[in-house]
Structure 1
Amino acid sequence: MLDWTDRHYRYFARLISKHAVLYTEMITTGALIHGDRERYLQFNTQESPLALQLGGSHPKELAICAKMAEEMGYDEVNLNVGCPSDRVQNNMIGACLMGHPELVADCIDAMQQAVSIPVTVKHRIGIDDQDSYAELHHFVKTIAATGCSTFIVHARKAILQGLSPKENREIPPLKYDVAYQLKKDFPELEIIINGGIKTINECLEHVNHLDGVMVGREAYQNPWLLNQVDQSLYGAPDSTLSRHQVLEEMIPYIEEELNNGTYLGHITRHILGIFHSMPGGRKFRRYISENAHKPGATIDVLKNAIKLVTQEQAAALEARATNHN
């Protein structure tokens, strides 16, 4: 989810679901230690509960960054052992670490020693030819020995040689049963499933077997999916906000960001899918895409896009009423 789940998207997502745990995009230890940590770690307090996802393989560096997360107010720190990109492989980050369970255990242990907030791990079910269940079982057992109790399992193997990151999200088959077996073998652990999940009904099916569900791309491309999360998965009341009300709530946030010099398109690119599969959704996306990037673009771009949706939806209702009569 690099460049996707930034602080603007997370603020937007929190307006739709009050209970879902939100995760940052993966941030490398090098970026935090040697770069602009304030920019990388900045978030709005309304985003909580919020987890920082780290990429790295040096225990001391990960411990330092975990401490940064705790001091900034994050609720969880997560080590990514699932990203298959070449760039992170070359730095011993991401899915390639599944071939080094003892090193991952050292990293998790160092992070846990540094902070009191939960330290969790996200991983694949295997890599390349290291894809047997016995190897996965050993990986989880090794990490769990540190006291780490939450494992987010992307239920695909990663093929590090020959497939692009996009292909690694689509070509290796999903094997949810492997995650189910992990829960049977490690009932004391919290096992959360990830990969290819698109509906609330699928989430409900998975939580019959596991402890939770992580949804990534579908929650980004079709963000209104999050509207069902609070009631269906947390037993809380549904959000009382409509799609239009969520966007109205975004307006003062966007205006404040514009006053601070944020480029409008950096925010509005995250909200394009809110009217997914609804009348006016296409016009909404097109208008924002064509206008938010223009020099000096203001909040009027969003307001005008909302008007287009309102007009389209009113026309659709009128057409249905006419047909009914």
Structure 2
Amino acid sequence: MTPEQATWFAETFGALVDNVGRALLGKEHAVRLAMTAMIAEGHLLLEDAPGTGKTSLAKAIAATVQGTHHRIQFTPDLLPSDVTGVTIYDQGSGRFEFHPGPIFASVVLADEINRASPKTQSALLEVMEEGQITVDGVTHPVGRPFMVIATQNPIEQAGTYRLPEAQLDRFLIKTSLGYPDRVAAVEILAGAKDRTTTLKPKITTHAVGDMAQLATTVHIDAAVLDYVARLLEATREDAQTSLGASVRGGLALVRCAKVWAASEGRAYVVPDDVKSLATPVLAHRLMLDTEAEFAGVTTTHVLDRIVADTQPPALRAV
């Protein structure tokens, strides 16, 4: 990545965040994380109370990149074919035709994903990892960009199915929006309308692919990679975890750090990029041991402590 490309990337990324931020007032950090997940070609898990703007975020991102948006309400009776689509026999043509499901969109909001059965949740595993689905032995690509924004309600757990670790590991970032501050809340109440309907696209979906490709060229020094590896090892060796972050988690952290660096106009990753993203990228990939869980410890607490205790590499003199 050249300095000129880094400058263009940062300006474009800032314009995308500002545009989405017009629909989600006062949530710049969460929007930056969401756009980082999209450009890193990953998926986002939001754990938040109802009414905090999760649907607005998905619609705003789709509108900003000139993409399509579908919302799937996950319920216990939802079937895998309701998500992926189904093959139906057409008597007129005498052939089977594939009718695509709502998963075929640029941004798919999987609302309350943990309310669907594990069988239906598993319908997302292939498409989230490989960008395609297989129905009756035929593979159908969903196109690029493709991003799943899944939501969970942390308050009401009755009638829900806990996401298995294999599913959690496919989400690049986990975060929450939270409630707006008072100033933003007053502005939202004054408008009292869906702000996503007035958003204009800033780039095309093809340009998002160009940004994703450009982000892969960001340089990351061997010392920073060693820092990432030490963080992963620390999560596995910690006394309060029964399962640490995998190599997939480390690759996810590197991908996000490259996008984060480019979004700030740099063609190289610094340790602070890794530190800023370690918790949202790795915390949901950890499992606590029983004693720590009963004591009220969370994976976020563990990750924050590990990041604080792990010495980052010193910056090299230029």
- Above 0.5 in TM-score? no
TM-score for the superposition, normalised by structure 2 = 0.28
TM-score for the superposition, normalised by structure 1 = 0.27
Task: Answer 1 or 2: which has greater strand percent.
Answer: 2
Q: Which has the higher contact order (CA 8 A, sep 6+)?
A: 2
